[in-house]
Each structure stands twice: as structure tokens, then as C-alpha cells.
Amino acid sequence: MGNWVVNHWFSALFLAVWLGLNVFLFVDAFLKYEKADKYFYTREILGFCSRTLRKQLDHNLTFHKLVAYMICLHTAIHIIAHLFNFHRYSRSRQATDGSLASILSSLSHHEKEEGPWLNPIQSPDMTVEYVTFTSIAGLTGVIMTIALILMVTSATKFIRRSYFEVFWYTHHLFIFYILGLGIHGIGGIVRGQTEESMNENHPHKCAESFQKWDDHDSHCRRPRFEGHPPESWKWILAPVILYIFERILRFYRSQQKVVITKVVMHPSKVLELQMKKRGFSMEVGQYIFVNCPSISLLEWHPFTLTSAPEEDFFSIHIRAAGDWTENLIRAFEQQDSSIPRVEVDGPFGTVSEDVFQYEVAMLVGAGIGVTPFASILKSIWYKFQRADHDLKTQKIYFYWICRETGAFSWFNDLLTSLEQEMEELGKVGFLNYRLFLTGWDSNIAGHAALNFDKATDIVTGLKQKTSFGRPMWDNEFSTIATSHPKSVVGVFLCGPRTLAKSLRKCCHRYSSLDPRKVQFYFNKENF
């Protein structure tokens, strides 16, 4: 490695500068076409950095999982291949038949660094297990495999949902995995013939006369071997540099002071925090990472922003769903102590940012999954307040599915304000929202039926009546497709996978084959 740096440092420096210059020129041209006003109409036609491209970037977690699956697959292949290799090494070392493999396996190990040895098993009595746990390649391989198994098993949905701390800490074993990967090849288990030895013993000329290698009159000398220089660093260097840069950036942003301006405890153990941070700027549907040092110095948890970009603060709603969130809610419930300090990193983008790019939008939230749509609905309220004529969206269908009645109170005030605002502006048909209660008994249903004729809903106090059960999605999609026969409809979901599967099928089923007619595009929040 040292010799390579001495001999090729100028070439490497030139290549790095050349690549850096090309990246700079590309980014400069990209920003010019993306931001400059004189290309506004061009972007309208070409859709520069279009919805399709941005949508792929929103699948970063899916890509992350795909990479993990491929790492697991190739790790298994790598381990199985080496098991076969060590079996053959062991069999060749124990062989006494005078074959070429047995002769090569008996080459001396005394000069380990530059010696002639080819077989890592030094004697017939040495076991494969001993070589595995005493060689650099074997020991690092075991450590990396254990780290990978722990990371994969702790990343299952059950562990993530119920024991997030276990998932979070074990996932950081990737540090040991990367370190092990960097030094895995140093031991040189798989060796090749040296260049000098190739001149003295070329296999095409000398392999068949291996029994005469020790003869004085033979032109073939015993071959000498060397380990292949490690190359894994070439694959991990760029990702490691990017990761370190990203961690430094996130650390810098997280150290900026956060002021908590308001704390609200909602029913069903939901905590609302309203905060301010210098230079903070957001878009609808984005999320932030939150850390509370008094609970854990290292744990950062994602929460969707429920405030609108037009507001002078940003807010999140936190539901008790694990040790960390329960401890956080308990800390804010204690009246006799000072407000805990929190750190914030973000915001980060999600698919919900594209909601105003569609003429018609379907928003589907399940339980606390309503949070990104609260931000959208608030932003709509502000846009109507300020008479924003650039709003492309003409109609919004909002579906909120909850198990318990108390959950509806989280955003009751927001929905009431929207109802009043739409009436005053004569845009009652702009927002069509439906509330569905899935966890109900006969008492609740009977009480609602007896009071059905009242102006407001008995469950929520809103004008829109609460429906009991789950939406009939085929009916909903059919109605929307009929009402908007030539529109592009964006379907946005923040909810469970089973619901996502149903909505995705409906999007395909009710999208017209004619691109000039109604098209449904499915978008799902990923956390």
C-alpha cells in the first residue's frame, strides 16, 4: 500500500481533482436548470427532477433492505465456498499419496510473511477450527458473520416495533462489520505465486514434473507464494467517507438550540410538542429525528411534522409505543421538574411533499399515521387564508381510520377550522373527509344511531358523521374515478402494509389504460 502511494500519488490526486471538477460542473448546471426562472416553462414540459425520479429516491429504505439481503446472500455464498476450500486444504495436508496437492500443502511455514507456503493448515494435526480462530481472515470472518446475524435478526418488524432500543443498538454493529471487512484480506489465506517464482517455476512447464523440483539438475525450483493484497477497502472507502460526512453534518445540526414553546397532552397518551429552531425550514409531510439526552444520549427517533410551513413553529405528535416514547411522555408529564431538553435533526423529505403536484389527492391515515396529513391540511388552510392562486390541487379526499374515539380529538380543532373556512370561501366541495372508527361496540353504535339527525357528529363534534368499520375501497375509487375522469390522482398512505397492499391494487385496477384519462399514483410513507 505504501509503495503504491509513493508511485501513484500524483495520478490519484489528478484523478480526484478531475472527478471533483466534473461533479462541481454537473451540480452547477443541475441547479441552474432546476432553479433559474428562465427555465420555468421548460421545466413544466420536461418535468426536470420529475415526480417519477423523486419517487424512486423516496424508496431509500427499500433500497437499504435490498442491499442488506444481497449482503446476506453473498456472505452465505462466501462462507460456503470457504468451507469447501478448508475441507480441501485439510484433505490435501493429510494426504500421503505424493500428489501435487500434498506436495504443495507441505511447503514450509517457517518464513510466514515471504515463505513458500500455500496451504494455511500447517500440519496434519491442525484442525479447521484452529485455523479459523487464529488467522486474521478467519477471526474477522467470524466477527463479521455474528455482527451481520445480530443486525438482521434485530431488524425484524417485531423487534423494531416492540424493542426499538435493541434494534437501534445492534444495528450499529455495522461499525465492527466495516472494520472487519477492511482487514479481512490482510491474512492472505488465498495465495498466488510470486512474480520471481513464476520465472523459476512456471506452472505450464513445471507442474507435471513436480516430483523433480528438489533435484539439482532440474530447471524448476520450488514455487513461492504470497497473499493477494487486500482490496475490500476500495469498496468501502467512498461509503465510509460519505457516512462520516453525513454524521458530522447531522451532529452540527443537532447541536443547534431547540426552544419548546408549547406542550399539549392529548387523549390516548399522545404528546404534542411545539418547537422553534433558528434557520429551520420545512415542507409539508416531512419528518425530523428527535433525541432527548436525559433519556438516552445516542437514540434518535423519527417523527412526522404536524405543523404547516406557513407557521412560525414546528410541531410533532408522539404516541406511546415503546420504552423511549413512554419515558419521554412521562418526563413531560412531571409538573414539578423543568422541561427536558431535546435535540432535533432535519427535516427530511417524504413522498407527501408531492401532494400539491396532483390535481386530485387521496390522503389515507391510520391512527397516528394521520400526522403527515395534518401538516398538509394546515397548509391548505393557510393557502386559502392568503388566497394562494398557485395551488394546483382542486380536490382532496381525506380518510382517517382509528381504533378508538379519543384519537379523533388530536386534530378536531383543525378539521373544525377547515370546515368553517371552506364554507366562508364557498369551497365546501374542496375537502371531502371521512372518519372511520374500527374499534367500537354496540353502545357507541347505538348512541350514534339515536343522534344521527343532529347537525354534528356525536363522536367527534364535527359536521361529517363518523362511519363504523373500514372503508369500502372499491366503492371509493370507483366514485373518484367517475367524478374525475381525466385527472391525475395522487394516493398517499401513512399506515400498515396490509392497507398499502389494498390501495396499491385499487390504484392499478381503476387507472385507465388511456393515459389521457384518470390515473391513480400510489405513494406510501416509509419509516
Query: DSSP string spanning 81-124?
Result: HHHHHHHHHHHHHH--S--HHHHHHTS--SSTTTS----S--ST
- Which range has the top average pLDDT, 376-380, 435-439, 471-475? 471-475
Q: Which of 348, 364, 396 delimits the end of a domain?
A: 348
Q: Is the pLDDT of residue 460 over 70?
A: no
More confident residue, 95 or 413: 95
Peptide bond into 267 cis (omega under 30): no
Do 429 and 392 sit in the same domain of this protein? yes
Q: Do 96 and 102 meet the contact criterion of CB atoms below 8 Å apart?
A: yes
Q: Is the pLDDT of residue 47 over 70?
A: no
User: Which of 322, 348, 374 is a domain's end point?
Assistant: 348
Per-residue b or e along 313-327, where b marks 16 or more CB atoms closer than 10 Å to that residue's CB: bbbbbbbbebebbee
Range of the domain at 369: 352-440+460-524
Does 489 map to a domain?
A: yes
Using CA atoms, how far residue 367 sits from 214, 371, 380, 441, 455, in Å, is: 80, 9, 21, 18, 25
Residue 148 lies in a domain: no
Our count of domains for the chain comes to 2
pLDDT at 38: 61
Q: Cell digits for 178?
A: 466495516
pLDDT tens digits, residue range 287-330? Answer: 888 888 888 887 888 888 888 888 888 888 888 777 788 888 88
* Domain end among 330, 348, 366: 348
* Same domain membership, residue 379 and residue 334: no
Residue 237 lies in a domain: no
Same-domain status, 435 and 510: yes
Residues 427 and 279 in one domain: no
Do residues 393 and 364 share a domain? yes
Mean pLDDT, the chain, integer: 78
Q: Is residue 388 part of a domain?
A: yes
pLDDT digits (tens, 9 = 90+) for 199-248: 777 777 777 777 777 677 677 777 877 777 777 888 888 888 988 988 88
Same domain, 389 and 424: yes
Note the pLDDT of residue 409: 66
Looking at residue 233, what is its pLDDT?
82
pLDDT classification of 147: cutoffs 50, 70, 90: very high
Kindly state whether residue 37 falls inside one of the protein's structural domains: no
Do residue 268 and residue 319 come from a single domain? yes
Q: Which three cell numbers stand for residue 83?
A: 468451507
**Predicted confidence band at 112 (pLDDT cuts at 50, 70, 90)?**
very low
> Quick one: 406 and 305 in the same domain?
no
Looking at residue 201, its pLDDT comes to 76
pLDDT on residue 526: 60
Q: Are residues 488 and 341 in the same domain?
A: no
The answer to the question of residue 15 being in a domain is no
pLDDT at residue 4 is higher than 80: no
pLDDT exceeds cutoff 70 at 49: no
* 171 in Cβ contact with 154 (< 8 Å): yes
Q: Which residue has the cell 468451507?
A: 83
- Say if residue 357 is in the same domain as residue 338: no
Q: What is the CATH number of the domain that holds 371?
A: 3.40.50.80
HSE-up (13 A, CA, CB side) for residue 186: 12
